[in-house]
A and B are shown apart, each in its own frame.
Chain A
Amino acid sequence: MELYFGGEARSLYGVWHEPPRPPAPPRVLVLCAPLWREGVRAHRVLRQLAARLAREGTTVLRFDYTGAGDSAGDNEAGDVETWLGDVDAAVEEARGARGAARVTLLGLRFGATLAALAAARRDDVDRLVLWEPVPDGTSYLAEGRAEHRAWADLYAAWRRLPRRQVEDPGDEILGYRVTAAMRASISMVDLATLSRTARDVLVIERAAPDPGGGLPAVLAARGARVLHEVLAEPEIWKPHHAEGTAGARRTQDLIAGWLARSAS
């Protein structure tokens, strides 16, 4: 079921995925998508994952951030604070509509980062699933720019265009303009400085953490029970022809299994 929610301040597009027989008390999960082109690419797999989790007993709310998908705002609306406010609004909507005392947040890429940041400032997020989180905003923006420049180089060469003809003002990442507000707020993000986190956290990453233990160690030091899985599956947020369309089945199995086991 689709809806717009967010009260006076926001108009966010959301989709509910309902279990055939909701358990009591209800288990509610809010799904945080990646930003920009990664979000568009991941849309189908995240929808499939939400439908599967619902079949297995979890009520899922998917939603679009301000300035993304079908929500209000043009592509240049929003920054980290706006998107965190959107996550808050989605959690409130999910709790209010389904009468849940607590929720699980599941995020992919920068959506996982937003989920971790939101959990740090709320008391009602008891479980977190962080799928390939972005730990450091500055590197994330630099990688995005590098990806954009690589695209422009390849495109200009293929079309035999002078490179300057496909130059952008220096602030675009594959179809999206990163505004000054977005840049400033994303650059400030560093998950190593999280002050607190949820009770249970599942972290799924393609690469093993650095010798210091990376994000899982940070989360464990904040008192979370952390399960860290290294799983090199297709990067569903990248162009689909790069790695096929398998849809990261093992990752989806892992998430579903962990949610069933850690349900209290």
Chain B
Amino acid sequence: MNERPVRFGPAKGLSGVLTAPAGGAAGPAVLLLNAGLLHRVGPNRLYVTLARRLAALGLPALRFDYSGLGESDPRRDELTLEESMLAEGRQAMSFLEAEGVAEAFVPMGLCAGAEQAQRLAYADARVVGAACIDGYAYRTPGYYLREVARHVLSARSWRRLLASPLALWKALGRRPATGAAPGNPGGVDFVREFPSRQECLEQLRAILARGAELHLVFTGGGMAELYNHRGQFAATFPTLRGHPRIRLDFMPLADHTFTLRSQQDAVVASIEAWARERLVGKAPREVELPAAAAMAAE
């Protein structure tokens, strides 16, 4: 297996594993960004599976831990989490560049990792693509209509209505489910802070204007409070509807951490297909990658 542990960043405090393609690099390098507080292997080793599958397509893949998570050291400065994660994402790219692994990059991740992938893509011109699983999402009128319809069509709601006519009234007036829901590892006190819809749109426009590719995946379970239909993204951002460099997958059955194996296989296949079609061969400055080739030969 062409994997090796790496250390990078200030005082080499950041720990990662680099998976090198056996036949040398054939595209940009992938960065897998921590899914919340989980260490870099991801839920059910999703990131390990992705790193190896993408490396098999010819894309070098680095899974690493932000400072204070997994195997990485905590920081001793006073940067905010937002600042340090952005800085560390850039350090990961600079490290791979210095090692001769790649000059173009595709950050990807789940939840907080998806948010960071978008931020990194917006902030750094070396990013040529990003894959965001359960990243930023915004409710639309259609979202609320579908939620009401879900209650109305649910046998459970009718059973409760027949048992107590007040129950449906209460259910409709209830706030959306909190993070304590099953399959949401965030817990009750976990709050995700999103940029405004307008800010998000500006970021996406800037990323796309550079020619970068975007793959957005939304799970039904992970995003139940925010996203409930394949077309909701286009309804949120009508000016991006049908954009040739955006691919979107809605996985209605999947929970936030892909507990079911069938859903794990589906999300890996989704990202693999996107990578094969849009990333392989995409590095803008294609060069020989001596370090990667040497590693592969080991």
A165, CB-defined interface residue at 8 Å: yes
Binds B, one of A70-78, A188-196, A253-261: A70-78
B97 at interface (Cβ–Cβ under 8 A)? no
User: CB distance B259 to A151 under 8 Å?
Assistant: yes
Verify B71–A159 contact, CB threshold 8 A. Answer: no
Chain A 1-42 per-residue mask, 1 if CB under 8 angstroms from chain B, else 0: 011100000010101000000000000000000000100100
CA distance A157 to B181 in the complex (A): 11
> Residues of A contacting B40 with CB < 8 Å?
70
Nearest CB of B to A237, in Å: 14
Which chain A positions have C-beta within 8 A of B255? 155
B246-267 near A? 1/0 per residue, CB < 8 Å: 0000000101011111101000
Instruction: Classify the secondary structure of B's interface with A.
Output: loop
Find out whether the CB atom of B7 lies under 8 angstroms from the CB atom of A2. yes
**Which one of A2, A3, A158, A240 contacts B182 once the chains associate, using CB atoms below 8 Å?**
A158
* CB atoms of A172 and B45 under 8 A apart: no
**On chain B, which size bracket covers the interface?**
35 or more
Asked if A52 is an interface residue, CB under 8 A from chain B, the answer is: no
Residues of B near A160 (CB, < 8 A) are 150-151, 154, 156-157
Q: B1: which A residues are within 8 A, CB to CB? A: 11, 72
Q: How far is the CB of A146 from chain B (nearest CB, A)?
A: 15
Q: Are B181 and A175 in contact (CB under 8 A)?
A: no
B65 shortest CB reach to chain A, Å: 10
Q: Does A182 contact B (CB under 8 A)?
A: no
In chain A, positions 30-60 with a C-beta closer than 8 Å to chain B are: 37, 40, 43-44, 47
Q: Are A159 and B187 in contact, with the CB atoms below 8 A?
A: no
> Are A159 and B264 interface neighbours, CB within 8 A?
no
Residue of A nearest to B49 (CB): A74
Q: A158 to B185: give the CA distance in the assembly, Å.
A: 15
User: Is A130 an interface residue, CB under 8 A from the partner?
Assistant: no
0/1 string, B1-29, CB within 8 A of A gives 1: 10111010000000101000000000000
Cβ < 8 Å to B, chain A residues 105-130: none
A and B contact pairs by CB, cutoff 8 A, 20 listed: A2-B71, A3-B5, A13-B5, A15-B71, A40-B39, A43-B70, A47-B71, A69-B45, A70-B3, A75-B45, A154-B182, A155-B182, A155-B183, A155-B255, A160-B157, A168-B262, A174-B259, A241-B180, A241-B187, A241-B188
